[in-house]
Amino acid sequence: MALANLSLRLIFMDNTKLTAENRTSILKQRFSQLFGGGSRTYQAPGRVNLIGEHTDYNSGFVMPAAIGFHTMVSIAPRPGRKLVIYSENYSEHIELDLDHLPVARTGHWSDYVIGVVKMLERAGKTLVGANVLVVGDVPQGAGLSSSASLEVAIGYALLDSSDHRPDQTSGTMCNGTGIDRTKLALLCQQAENEFVGARCGIMDQFVSSHGKQGQALMLDCRSLDYRLLPLPDGVALAICNTMVKHSIAKGEYNQRRAECEAGVRELSKCLPHVLALRDVTAEDLDTFGHNLPDVVRRRCHHVISENARVRQAATALESGDLPAFGKLMLESHRSLRDDFEVSCSELDLMVQLAGQAEGVYGTRMTGGGFGGCTIALVESACVEAFQQTVQEGYTRATGCKPEIYVCYAADGVGQMF
């Protein structure tokens, strides 16, 4: 397929039938145009959270799945200690001197790259110079973790290009000191926390590193223990973008964190073992929560009940009980709407429309809230009708046409064919 002057990103976004081999060939061709010579190619996925919302920063449980939207990287070593990185999405390049990296963020897309490079070097990974081509098809601003996808893809590619080869048997990234996928995820999270300045949890980078095709991942955000859970064949993940993000989102998110922390401080006076809401049971809240302000009590109730729902959802997936899983999704949405108060009219409408469509097992808001996306589990045979019904209903009610992304659970970061 000739590239001509057509954006690589548009090719990937508009042609959903491209095989992995096609994508790799196109990337290599574009890399050769930009830099000359051959390259190795890698990709890391975005993610959607099936259940377990606002539990991550409370040391709780989440259940994301990696999805078939990716950041893709072609890379080849170059002499010296310079990185030359071209972003197809932004049609611009940056150059980084590995011995004199920027000390402060600028708000540019390259902050995510620079942050990862700094954390890898700080962890003792001596990187080599490289030419790098980056292109992503993870929808930006939709809450599908395009930033984590970029971080993990860049980190993995730089390590491999610097002769830190992945062990094909264990999945561990090995060199003299070794770095595994969990370590990579932690370094990428650290880059976003410390350099980019976003207080994200570990979920996004973790599932981008550890995701598996056809499976959801239940993660303990405290211990980082995880379980892979089967998503049945014939079931699609339908992500419905409301196309709105209310301006209060950031401030309200910080307020919710503060309210959860206030609950922990009060409950720990009676329950000394409590370090996070993860440690509080429903019975504890009934017994010792009478001194909490009503709003704080409701925030705590959501987190405690949501952790229980994630565990129940894992049992439902393991037994193949999708109706039970779908019921838990709806309960999660109601809790987020009523107790945690992070939904909005657009999200509620999208959940209502999706819940009425044929072949839907369950649906809920996903992400931080106040706009963004919902997630629905839909029988694959009903996907086209689902898209039409939800899109028409939402547009009619709001005057805004939503985007609906149909995905299946995908593998985590790795080298492309």
**Residue 336: pLDDT band by 50, 70, 90 thresholds?**
very high
325, amino acid identity: F
Q: What is the mean pLDDT of the chain?
A: 91
Give the fold, CATH level 3, of 8-230. Ribosomal Protein S5; domain 2 (3.30.230)
pLDDT value at residue 160:
86
Task: In whole angstroms, give the CA distance from residue 361 to residue 315.
Answer: 16
Q: pLDDT tens, 148-181?
A: 999 999 999 999 888 644 443 344 444 434 458 9
Task: In whole angstroms, give the CA distance from residue 174 to residue 413.
Answer: 15
pLDDT value at residue 167:
42
pLDDT value at residue 379:
98
Residue 19 clears pLDDT 90, i.e. is over it: no
- 204 is known as an active-site residue: yes
Could you tell me which residues come within 8 angstroms of residue 304 by beta carbon, excluding any fewer than 6 positions away? Answer: 277, 280, 281, 282, 285
Which residue of the set 111, 204, 279, 339 is catalytic? 204
- How far out from the chain centre does Cα 102 lie? 26
pLDDT value at residue 200:
83
Residue 113 clears pLDDT 80, i.e. is over it: yes
pLDDT value at residue 7:
54
pLDDT value at residue 9:
55
Task: In whole angstroms, give the CA distance from residue 212 to residue 304.
Answer: 28
Which segment of 153-167, 316-330, 351-365 scores lowest on mean pLDDT? 153-167
Q: pLDDT tens, 34-79?
A: 999 999 999 999 999 999 999 999 999 999 999 999 999 999 999 9
Residue 102 clears pLDDT 70, i.e. is over it: yes
Averaged pLDDT for residues 92-117: 95
| SS3 sequence of the chain | CCCCCCCHHHHHHHCCCCCHHHHHHHHHHHHHHHHCCCCEEEEEEEEEEEECCCCHHHCCEEEEEEEEEEEEEEEEECCCCEEEEEECCCCEEEEEECCCCCCCCCCCCHHHHHHHHHHHHHCCCCCCCEEEEEEECCCCCCCCCHHHHHHHHHHHHHHHHCCCCECCCCCCECCCCCECHHHHHHHHHHHHHHHHCCCCCCHHHHHHHHCECCEEEEEECCCCCEEEEECCCCEEEEEEEEEEECCCHHHHHHHHHHHHHHHHHHHCCCCCCCCCHHHCCHHHHHHHHHHCCHHHHHHHHHHHHHHHHHHHHHHHHHCCCHHHHHHHHHHHHHHHHHCCCCCCHHHHHHHHHHHHCCCEEEEEEECCCCEEEEEEEEEHHHHHHHHHHHHHHHHHHHCCCCEEEEECECCCCEECC
Token duo for residue 321: 């009980």
Q: Which of 175, 211, 176, 187 is nearest to 65 (CA)?
A: 211
**Residue 115: pLDDT band by 50, 70, 90 thresholds?**
very high
Residue 104 clears pLDDT 90, i.e. is over it: yes
Q: Checking DSSP bridges between strand 414-415 and strand 371-379, what pairing results, if any? A: unpaired
Q: pLDDT tens, 363-416?
A: 999 998 999 999 999 999 999 999 999 999 999 999 999 999 999 999 999 998
Q: pLDDT tens, 212-237?
A: 999 999 999 999 999 999 999 999 99
What residue segments make up the domains of the chain, in order of their start?
A: 8-230
Averaged pLDDT for residues 82-91: 96
Averaged pLDDT for residues 265-272: 97
Give this prediction's pTM: 0.90
Q: pLDDT tens, 116-147?
A: 999 999 998 889 999 999 999 998 878 898 99
Averaged pLDDT for residues 338-355: 98
pLDDT value at residue 246:
83
pLDDT value at residue 171:
43
Q: Is the dihedral of CA 100, 179, 314, 236 positive or negative?
A: positive
**Residue 13: pLDDT band by 50, 70, 90 thresholds?**
low
